[in-house]
Chain A
Amino acid sequence: MSIRITGLAKRFGSKQVLNGIDLEVADGENFVILGRSGTGKSVLLKHIVGLLEPDAGEVVVDGEAVQGRPQESLDALRASIGYVFQFAALFDSMTVAENLALGLRRRGLDAATITERTTEALALVNLPGSELKLPAELSGGMRKRVGIARAIALRPKYILYDEPTSGLDPVTSAVIDRLMVRTRELGVTGVIVTHDMKSAFSVGDRLALLHEGRVHAVGPAEEMRVSTDPLVRRFIDGIPDDAEAA
């Protein structure tokens, strides 16, 4: 297993966001994490890349715990992980090319390789020729695609996607779904946080549903699609519970 999460717990103030998460993500799969807003999906992703420290539990990537690593080792781990943020998190004072080049420069690549990787990644997300644009000049969908290009350009082993299709029109969502499938075909392991069910079933090999800070159900996409578990069914079919419906 390439990513193993054991007993992960995290509290913010009085809110227990994660309450003992156990998950395993295999090499080369697209693993989708589902759950309602506020169930801690993004918090979980941030633990994988060491942006947050857990209160309890651990995240192990490639056999080594993320938390407690010395900074150099954490940087080396981050070099193998691309992170696609929910709102892209592009550096708004930099052009698209500079956004992509920043991480590559950190890895000590020369200028020619950086240009080559930048051009290649932008072509992969169907944004060739946008190198000199500023993030403010891009639409929401284009920004997300640049965010994905920034992650792909690093040629990482893993890509973590935080709500990659939220707020996008169906056509742009389909483009991004195809991108996520394509990156998996290139051998990249994907962890995708979403509540877009169409996207989840089209890109995910396995799905997990978070509920009240724990993994409520996990399984292959086709099994989850026909699951009879009431909570899974309500989430997939978008049916509010009795209290919400009242």
Chain B
Amino acid sequence: MTSAAYPTADHRPLAVLGRGAQRVARALADVRTWSPLLLGQMQRLGVESVPIAIFIAVFTGIVLALLSSYIFTGAVPLYFVGALVGKTVMMELGPVLTGMALAGRVGANIAAELGSMKVTEQVDALETLAYDPLAYLAVPRVLAATLMFPVVTAFAMAIGVTAGWITSINLLDLSTPEFFKGLRQFYKFKDVWFGLVKAASFGMAVAIMGCHRGLTSQGGAEGVGAATTRAVVLGCEAILALDAFWALVLL
């Protein structure tokens, strides 16, 4: 049938992994392609996500203050409300809830955009113009999400604690000095960086899922829809798995 055989690609898992790692390394090294796009992606994926993070943080802070007061009343001094709000927002709910919300916003955005580009051959067009799609499309998005998720989460932490404080002094029998006494008593700097490290890993995971599902989309609009849904689900699953991983490793 054929007059010249071309060696077909090795499909063994290690070979596939090796080729994948080689492609990623080449894309990361292609700085002149991705660096001009990084700031724009940081704006789109990070700065534009701040409003939703603030919205979530406000209600998380309010609920945490009310819930801890309900649990502590009659058993534990009420200034512990400050401690619980601070610890929980910084170490767990700030990063995880923000991550989940951004998995929806950022993960879906990336998967839908890259998926549309894939099925309309724009990704092929990039390749024919001698651009590496990983360097041009994936690297700036993954780096932007990794850098900006912690920034957005830091905002969420500050807003969540502030919301808990305002709730405590207005709705609970607690003064500002009492709230901050509890907050300070149990505060460790590790609480903040633990939350921010988690947020960075969540950002990376969400963006990788979005890019991977988008760039492997097939079929028309239906394929893009399926890729988008899958990216969001995988992003949320990755966040929960990473959350447990960091708790095991860092606590």
B48 in the interface (beta carbon within 8 A)? no
**Do the beta carbons of A103 and B6 come within 8 Å of each other?**
no
Expressed in whole angstroms, the Cα–Cα distance for A51 and B9 within the complex equals 14
The residue that A57 contacts in the complex, of B4, B122, B125, B130, with Cβ under 8 A, is B4
Chain B residues lying within 8 Å of A49, measured Cβ to Cβ, are 127-128
Chain B residues lying within 8 Å of A205, measured Cβ to Cβ, are none
Q: Count the A residues whose beta carbon is within 8 Å of the partner chain — how many?
A: 37
Chain B residues lying within 8 Å of A209, measured Cβ to Cβ, are none
Expressed in whole angstroms, the Cα–Cα distance for A19 and B132 within the complex equals 29
Expressed in whole angstroms, the Cα–Cα distance for A82 and B125 within the complex equals 10
Chain B residues lying within 8 Å of A178, measured Cβ to Cβ, are none
**Do the beta carbons of B124 and A7 come within 8 Å of each other?**
no
**Do the beta carbons of A6 and B4 come within 8 Å of each other?**
yes
**Do the beta carbons of A22 and B3 come within 8 Å of each other?**
yes
Q: Mark A1-19, 1 if CB is under 8 A from B, else 0.
A: 0000011110000000001
A92 in the interface (beta carbon within 8 A)? yes
**Do the beta carbons of B2 and A106 come within 8 Å of each other?**
no
Q: Count the B residues whose beta carbon is within 8 Å of the partner chain — how many?
A: 23
The residue that B124 contacts in the complex, of A6, A51, A57, with Cβ under 8 A, is A51
Chain A residues lying within 8 Å of B9, measured Cβ to Cβ, are 53
- With most chain B CB atoms within 10 A of its CB, the pick from A7, A81, A86, A89 is A89
Expressed in whole angstroms, the Cα–Cα distance for A126 and B69 within the complex equals 73
> Taking the nearest CB of chain A, how far is it from the CB of B5, in angstroms?
5
A87 in the interface (beta carbon within 8 A)? yes
Q: Mark B207-226, 1 if CB is under 8 A from A, else 0.
A: 00000000000000000000
7 contacts between A and B (CB under 8 A): A6-B2, A9-B2, A56-B1, A56-B4, A57-B6, A78-B128, A90-B125
